[in-house]
Amino acid sequence: MKHHSGLVEVVTGSMFCGKTEEMIRRLRRATIAKQNVEVFKPAIDNRYHTIKVVSHSGSDFDAIPIKKASDILEKYSKDTTVIGIDEAQFLDDELIDIVNKLAEKGIRVIVGGLDTDFRGEPFGPMPILISQAEKVDKLHAICMVCGELASRTQRLVDGKPAHFDDPVVIVGANELYEARCRAHHSVPRD
């Protein structure tokens, strides 16, 4: 089934908020509706599987690993009507133009990714994708310190907050990261 017009949907928030779970839910519904679905993920994200998008709770969906955003244009099938892109914060800024071009071709593009890095700063192409999308859902996790809504990702090194000058990209899960609220998110600078 072809869409009348393309659109961009972004599912964002901190780690452990359910972004990938929500994206998989939307992709499954599109499959039930007999739409042609393809999913892409950065090859760097091999935490759970190399050719599947996998949520922290274990839901999964077949995916094509890519090294750079332009790989999407080379690898997607021309009869695809829905494209999912997980962990988009790890892709280069060319993703912004690619996502918009796909939507202009009538494709529904569902993008999942962190809106901010462990420092609390905008992450990769996500801020621009959020501002240009037709639909944006910002999900929240639960703060691991106080139980309030969490909107931040806390990186931990030996159980303590990572330093501001530490590398931005370190792929990991609950062994390196926690969800935190604004009050309990800490990024030491000294």
Helix H or strand E encompassing 161: strand 160-161
Q: Answer yes or no: is 162 within a domain.
A: no
Given 9, 22, 38, 87, which residue is catalytic?
A: 87
Q: Answer yes or no: is 170 within a domain.
A: no
Domains held by the chain: number: 1
Establish whether 21 is a catalytic residue. Answer: no
Q: Answer yes or no: is 151 within a domain.
A: no
Q: Answer yes or no: is 122 within a domain.
A: yes
Q: Which two tokens stand for residue 166?
A: 């530490």
Q: Does the pLDDT value for residue 167 go beyond 80? A: yes
CA distances (Å), 110 to each of 25, 55, 141, 186, in order?
11, 15, 20, 31
What is the mean predicted confidence (pLDDT) over 39-65? Answer: 81
SS3 state at 74: helix
Q: Does the pLDDT value for residue 159 go beyond 80? A: yes
Q: Predicted confidence band at 89 (pLDDT cuts at 50, 70, 90)? A: very high
Q: Which of 5-9, 144-148, 165-169 has the highest mean pLDDT?
A: 144-148
CATH number of the domain residue 24 falls in: 3.40.50.300
Q: Does the pLDDT value for residue 78 go beyond 60? A: yes
Q: Predicted confidence band at 87 (pLDDT cuts at 50, 70, 90)? A: very high
Q: Answer yes or no: is 74 within a domain.
A: yes
Q: Answer yes or no: is 54 within a domain.
A: yes
> Nearest to residue 83, comparing CAs of 95, 49, 146, 188?
95
- Structural domain for 100, as ranges: 7-139
Q: Maximum distance among all alpha carbons in the chain?
A: 55
Q: Answer yes or no: is 1 within a domain.
A: no
CA distances (Å), 2 to each of 28, 73, 79, 185, 189, in order?
16, 18, 9, 44, 51
Q: Answer yes or no: is 62 within a domain.
A: yes
How high is the mean pLDDT of the chain?
92
